Amino acid sequence: MSSSAVTTAFAKAAAENRAALVGYLPAGFPDKDTGIKAALAMARAGADVIEVGLPYSDPLMDGPVIADAVYRSLKGGTRVKDVLDTVAAISTAGTAALVMTYWNPVDHYGVAAFARDLASAGGSGLITPDLTPEESGDWPRVSDEHDLDRVYLVAPSSPHARIAAITRLCRGFVYAASLMGITGTRDSVSAGAAGLVARTREHTTLPVAVGLGVSTPEQAHEVAGFADGVIVGSAFVRRLAAAPTPQDGIAAVRELTEALAVGVRRG
Kindly name the residue from 31, 33, 58, 62 that is annotated as catalytic: 62
What is the domain class of 5-263 according to CATH? alpha beta
Q: Which of these, 177, 53, 50, 211, lies nearest to 124 by C-alpha position?
A: 50
Kindly name the residue from 16, 48, 51, 147 that is annotated as catalytic: 51
Taking only the tens place, the pLDDT of each residue in 194-237 is 999 999 999 999 999 999 889 999 999 999 999 999 999 999 99
Enter the pTM of the model.
0.93
Q: Which of these, 162, 112, 174, 173, lies nearest to 137 by C-alpha position?
A: 112
Taking only the tens place, the pLDDT of each residue in 114-146 is 999 999 999 999 999 999 999 999 999 999 999
Domain boundaries, the chain: 5-263
For residues 187 and 189, give the distance between their C-alpha atoms in angstroms, rounded to a whole number: 7
Residues forming a β-bridge with 150: 126
* 62 given a catalytic annotation: yes
Type of residue at 163 = I
- Count CB-CB contacts under 10 A for residue 92: 12
Per DSSP (E only), the strands in the chain are: 20-26, 49-53, 96-100, 125-127, 149-151, 153-154, 174-177, 208-211, 229-232
Residues forming a β-bridge with 25: 52
Taking only the tens place, the pLDDT of each residue in 86-110 is 999 999 999 999 999 999 999 999 9
